[in-house]
Amino acid sequence: MGEAVQRRMMGLTAVVAALGMTATLAGCGGDSGSGDVTLKLVAADYGTGPANTSEKYWSGVAAGFEKENPGIKVEVSVLHWKDVDREVGEMVEAGRAPDIAQIGAYADYATDGKLYTADETLAIRTAANFLPSLSDAGKIDGIQYGLPFVASTRLLFYNEKLFAQSGLDAPETWDDIRSAATALKAEGVTYPFALPLGQEEAQAETLMWLLSGGGGYTDDVGAYDIDSAANIATFRWLREDLVGKGLTGPVEPGKLDREKAFEAFADGEVGMLNGHPTLLDEAEAKGVKVGMVPLPGVDGPMKGSMGVADWMMGFKENGHRKEIGAFLDYAYSDENVLAFADEYDLLPVTGSAAAVMEGDKSHKKLHKFLAALPNSTLPPFGKTSWATVSDSIKKNIGKAVAPGSNPESVLGEIATEAKEAQAAE
């Protein structure tokens, strides 16, 4: 799922119509525990159609919860992941925040004082069960507001058939990537290495490369450090050693979206790219045998990876703190966490569910991704400025690898915008 999109004002009537909700909901009780309570839950749809819509999952969770908690009803609204962040933003602006939202970003709401903290809602056992790297990404000034819901990591995917035909071994270093891509190009492979730096998810592809080059978006104290020497060196290498040598295919990276790169890989047209579990199923369904290795670094494979998470949060507006906490504790049971992860080939966010998945041979294809999760580095979700910075990366980073470009200048412009955005937090 993508990140939070820019929020805009919208009238209450339009919000209610868009979400298919009634304006009058049972909402008494709150912290007092008196009377019936209806919790409003808005969640993202991870499905590809009616057969696997997330509405089925959440309706099942709600029904199970209601059975165990008489007096609490859960009203479920599931929206397309491209729309849900905007829709929730509009509800909040209109003064009709849901009680619980499962979306892509939490920082703005937390900073505005609209969210309960994890300590205010969750049982200690639930809060302590989150994987530390994910739990930390849900904190602002050491206080957790964002509850990780699902996660994924990235590995380097390669087409085993194409590699075998060229007599290649799986790459472990950047030099291996370059030499393998050169050999694949000589064999007529359309995209020796697909490098999607188009606007769809350029911020993620960028972070993978920055981490593999020893850099990242922030420094050791959490300040933006986008134009660091390590990051500049990474993009110089990409420009000179991959793009400049014609090893990234017919579409320039700045115009290649992740979805198109993934489609090309599943069609057997790509030698290598950075992939996630969903692509694995898509490719194998079309007969592409996929090799997977940790992201190659300058001198060897990375020990960690880039991680991505979406978030659950409880809004204060309706005063249903206890009821929200009860639902979240139920939703984060191993059974529920694993059911969702299994349905969409994602990774569980709790230690106990991750241990179950790790020991289950039926999840073998996810084990390498799961192994990378504890040491993964996530984007700076806790910064309210991240939405602005991410948007700048999406719009501009492709220029850093264009022929004749100056990576230092491009990264410097993004860094300046990032520092200004951070100063305004």
CATH code of the domain in which 406 resides:
3.40.190.10
Spatial contact of 66 and 74, defined as CB atoms under 8 Å apart: yes
Q: Are strands 147-153 and 307-314 parallel, antiparallel or unpaired?
A: antiparallel
Tell me, yes or no, whether 260 lies in a domain.
yes
d(CA 43, CA 76): 8
Residue where a domain terminates, one of 372, 397, 412: 372
265 and 290 within one domain: yes
Task: Based on the fold, state whether residues 148 and 169 are members of the same structural domain.
Answer: no
Number of independent structural domains in the chain:
2
Distance (Å, rounded) from C-alpha 218 to C-alpha 211? 11
Residue 394 has pLDDT above 80, yes or no: yes
Residue 235 is assigned to a structural domain of this protein:
yes
Q: Which domain holds residue 109?
A: 12-152+308-372
Q: Beta strand 191-193 with 147-153: parallel, antiparallel or unpaired?
A: unpaired
Query: Quick one: 365 and 419 in the same domain?
Result: no
Q: Across residues 310-316, what is the average pLDDT?
A: 97
Residue 4: inside a domain, yes or no?
A: no
- Same domain for 194 and 335, yes or no, is no
Strands 155-159 and 147-153: unpaired
Q: Are residues 332 and 343 in the same domain?
A: yes
Asked if residue 28 belongs to a domain, the reply is yes
Residues 142 and 178 reside in one and the same domain: no
User: Rounded to an integer, what distance in angstroms lies between the CA atom of residue 322 and that of residue 282?
Assistant: 42
Q: How many beta carbons lie within 10 A of that of residue 391, not counting itself?
A: 18
Do residues 277 and 345 lie in contact, with contact meaning Cβ atoms separated by under 8 Å? yes
- In this structure, are 39 and 145 located in the same domain? yes
Q: Quick one: 240 and 324 in the same domain?
A: no
Determine the pLDDT at residue 8.
29
Tens digit of pLDDT for each residue in 279-300?
998 999 999 999 999 999 999 9
What average pLDDT does the chain have? 91
| 5 inside domain | no
Residue-wise pLDDT for 145-158, tens only, equals 999 999 999 999 99
Do 273 and 325 have their domain in common?
no
Q: With respect to residue 96, please indicate whether it lies within any of the assigned structural domains.
A: yes
Same domain, 72 and 128: yes
341 and 204 in a common domain:
no
Q: At what angle do helices 202-212 and 386-396 cross, to 10 degrees?
A: 90
**8-state DSSP, 112:** T
Q: Residues near 284 by Cβ (< 8 Å), separated by ≥ 6? A: 290
Model confidence at 326, pLDDT cuts 50, 70, 90, reads very high
H or E stretch at 78: strand 72-80
Same domain, 139 and 161: no
Rounded mean pLDDT of 235-243? 98
